């Protein structure tokens, strides 16, 4: 039997995650968002002046259909297409609108048949990086670099009733906001600083959103790896 240990950062202790709760405009729609990293869960649990908890769970994965967006058959554009679908995005330019439409048309993965999903976490800084790419401001290479700046890792998202039923609460760890909110802010500030430094560079030979649309780049194109 294969088991994973997961953590969910929250201002509350959550002994029984409930299927169907959550915001529809999270990264991958409604679901229960977790990480395998305890320290990151503590950061996500805290807001300014408010302590939180890293709730710990075990999930049995043997009988679950899990979509791993880090697998070889997927690219960062598959993640972007999902982000464009579920997150609230102000399409402020015609270029951005066309880019979002094109990604959803050609790279959107149907996640409805999966019990759980593994993929990037798009906090506010990462979301701004994605918007910049879709708006043709940065190249795919610059986006890929930016996505590693905050070292947020991946998140594991429970999506189906079966996934929720396979998950068992174990315990919780307290998170002091004076420690973990500060760490979260430093992480975000460093990611943004690194991103703005990347913007100063000129990637003449890079692959931009306009190139992907114009050349009708497919998922098997080696430039996407």
Among 13, 6, 2, CA closest to 173: 13
Average pLDDT, the chain: 89
Cα distance between residue 59 and residue 40, in whole Å: 19
- Cβ-based neighbour number of residue 171 at 10 Å: 11
Instruction: Give the separation between CA 195 and CA 147, rounded to whole angstroms.
Output: 9
pTM of the model: 0.88
Calculate mean pLDDT across residues 134-140. Answer: 91
Q: Is there a contact between 119 and 33 (Cβ–Cβ < 8 Å)?
A: no
Give the integer Cα–Cα distance in Å for 169 and 95. Answer: 45
Which of 41, 68, 53, 50 is closest to 12 using CA atoms? 53
- In which band, very low, low, confident or very high, does the pLDDT at 122 lie, cut at 50, 70 and 90? low
Q: Is 49 exposed, middle or buried (0-12, 13-18, 19+ CB in 10 A)?
A: exposed
Which of 74-88, 107-121, 146-160 comes out lowest in average pLDDT? 146-160
Residue 10 β-bridge partners: 53
pLDDT digits (tens, 9 = 90+) for 69-107: 989 999 999 999 998 899 877 777 888 899 999 999 999
- pLDDT category at 125 given cuts 50, 70, 90 is low
pLDDT at position 17 is 96
């Amino acid at each position: 039997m294969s088991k994973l240990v997961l953590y969910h950062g929250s201002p509350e202790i959550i002994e029984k995650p409930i299927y169907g709760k959550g915001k529809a405009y999270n990264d991958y729609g409604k679901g229960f968002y977790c990480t395998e990293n305890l320290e990151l869960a503590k950061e996500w649990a805290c807001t300014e002046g408010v302590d939180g908890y890293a709730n710990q769970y075990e999930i049995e994965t043997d009988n679950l259909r899990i979509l791993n967006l880090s697998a070889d058959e997927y690219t960062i554009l598959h993640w972007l297409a999902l982000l464009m679908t579920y997150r609230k995005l102000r399409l402020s330019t015609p270029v951005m609108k066309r880019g979002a439409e094109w990604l959803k048309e050609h790279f959107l993965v149907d996640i409805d048949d999966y019990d759980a999903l593994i993929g990037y976490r798009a906090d506010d800084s990462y979301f701004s990086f994605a918007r910049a790419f879709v708006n043709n401001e940065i190249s795919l290479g610059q986006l890929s670099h930016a996505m590693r700046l905050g070292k947020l890792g991946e998140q594991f998202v429970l999506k189906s009733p079966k996934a929720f039923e396979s998950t068992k609460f174990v315990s919780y760890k307290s998170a002091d906001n004076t420690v973990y909110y500060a760490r979260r802010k430093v992480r975000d500030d460093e990611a943004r600083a690194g991103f703005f430094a990347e913007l100063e560079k000129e990637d003449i030979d890079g692959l931009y959103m306009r190139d992907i649309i114009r050349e009708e780049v497919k998922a098997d194109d080696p430039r996407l790896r």
